[in-house]
Structure 1
Amino acid sequence: MDPFHHLNTSFSNPYHPLLSPSPPHHPHFPPLPPPPPLAAELPQSSAGALERERLPQWSHAETAAFLAIRAELDHSFLTTKRNKALWESVSARLGAQGFSRTPDQCKSKWKNLVTRFKGTEAAAAQPADADTAAAQAARQFPFHDEMRRIFDARAERAQALERKKAKGKDVRPEDDEGGGEGEEEEEEELEVEMGEEEGGRGGGAKKRRRKQAARTWVADQGEVEAMLREFMRRQVEMEEKWMEAAEAREAERRAREEQWRTAMVALGEERLELVRRWREREDAWRARAEEREERRHQLVAALLAKLGGDAS
């Protein structure tokens, strides 16, 4: 057999890899698409846009029901410092009507409505014709009238409160609408602008807020001082109780130490007495042993003497 048969056969094959004019063909697969970015890797604006897309839009009927509920609770919002429970109540009442909204969504919706109402009020203040301004505001913001009624009712309550103060009547703390710290800043700014447009009512509202802020600050300062005094009083009482307890523990420790010392002295005396008695018994036993030994010697001597006499 030809030893070069294998080489000759390989080089005679036109499809051999060494004789192929082009490199062997490898299958080509298209590149895989990149994985979608995580929510944490998205920019804040994109994440906010995605979040807004996921939230269902407020319908006209849902917004109207929300404004009706908010108008009923407006006085409570103004007189309550913490309005989280009120927003939960608004959410629950919306759920009872068939609209599922969280308290945070309701709060955000109210802020948006206040912002839009503020913009329409600013735009309506520019035209000279009131009817044209009202129509333009209604076209831009369909809930302009509902928001206007809410703030008009708020202004009427403030005027009634001022009249009561002017007449010298006692005003309950819950009737004072300036104590509501839970209202948002945009609502306060909107009230000021609305009051200035209505002929000086904003100055009175601003003065009322300043007076109320001063009263609140004084009340808070008095509460802080009272809390500090109460804290110091309790601190002194606790220190006195602690000193009394420490003295009682020290007296008990001294009594126990004295009792222990007395017991140790008694035990020492008892031990000495036992040692004395043991020594006395030991001395008596030794004396008896010596006496017995002496008698034994005498008997042995007498016996030996007798035996010696007999032998002689």
Structure 2
Amino acid sequence: MEPEVMRQQFPFYNEMQAIFTARMQRMLWAEEEGGPGTSSTTTKKNKLAQGQGMTSEEEEDEDTDGEKGGLKKKASKKAKTMASSGGVGANVSSIITNTNNSINAVKEMLEDFMKQQLQMEVQWREAYEEREEERRRAEMEWRQRMEALENERLVMERRWREREEQRKMREEARAEKRDALITTLLNKLRRED
């Protein structure tokens, strides 16, 4: 997979990449400190096997263990290498201690990171719930205002209709009076003729 796709799928990609890069640099430095001719891990294992009198089956077992093993096995192999090459026991114990310290430091970093992630998630949830509650409140207020406006519109429309009806009734009454007056005037004029 491409690194960009990995970043999208795995949220801690950058942190893990930094850890693995640092680990790889440490391994390269350790190989360089071992001297020339020890850059290959298989040559190291072969020299270890020859120095300790291992059989080919034990070498294969060690190969599979080496593939599956973690930092602790690497530290113990480094300790064996130092001891077989004439290193001082204090160096071996200091390497093991340093490795254990780095493992503990990584564990603490990961625990701190997880705590921070949990705190951030809790804060995010609280902020989201507050925003959601505020949105609900605003929506309810808006609905109440719209209902009040609708009721006010209905009341005003009813009043307008009532006024219109009253105006029409007054006009009809005036028209009737006018018609009656005109008819009486016409009747008087006919009588006089």
Mind listing any 5+ residue stretches in structure 2 that lack a counterpart? 1-21, 37-82
Partner of 1:214: 96
Q: How does 1:295-306 map to 2 (within 5 A)?
A: 295-306=177-188
User: Match for 1:232 among 109, 114, 126?
Assistant: 114
Q: What TM-score does the superposition give when structure 1 sets the normalisation length?
A: 0.36
Q: CA RMSD in A?
A: 2.5
The structure carrying a bigger helix percent of its residues is 2
Give the match for residue 247 of structure 1. Answer: 129
Identity, in percent, stands at 39
Measure how far apart 1:271 and its partner are: 0.4
* 2:142 is the counterpart of 1:257: no
1:292 corresponds to: 174
Match of 1:143 in 2: none
Aligned length: 122
Report deviation, 1:189. 3.8
Distance in 1, matches of 2:148 and 2:90, equals 85
TM-score, with length taken from structure 2: 0.56
Pick the structure with greater CA Rg.
1
Q: Which residue matches 1:203? A: 86
Deviation at 1:297, TM superposition (A): 0.7
* Distance in 1 between residues matched to 2:126 and 2:120, nearest whole Å: 10
Structure 1 residues 183 and 235 mapped into 2: Cα distance closer, same or farther (>3 Å)? closer
Consecutive unaligned residues in structure 1, runs of 5 or more:
1-80, 82-179, 191-199
CA distance, structure 2, for counterparts of residue 247 and residue 283 of structure 1: 54
- 1:284: how far off? 1.1
Deviation at 1:184, TM superposition (A): 6.8
Aligned to 1:308: 190
When residues 187 and 279 of structure 1 are mapped into structure 2, their CA distance, relative to the original with a 3 A threshold, is closer
How far residue 250 of structure 1 moved from its aligned partner, in angstroms, is 1.1
Matches within 5 A, 1:1-312: 185=31, 187-189=33-35, 203-205=86-88, 207-311=89-193
Query: In 1, distance between residues paired with 2:129 and 2:182?
Result: 79
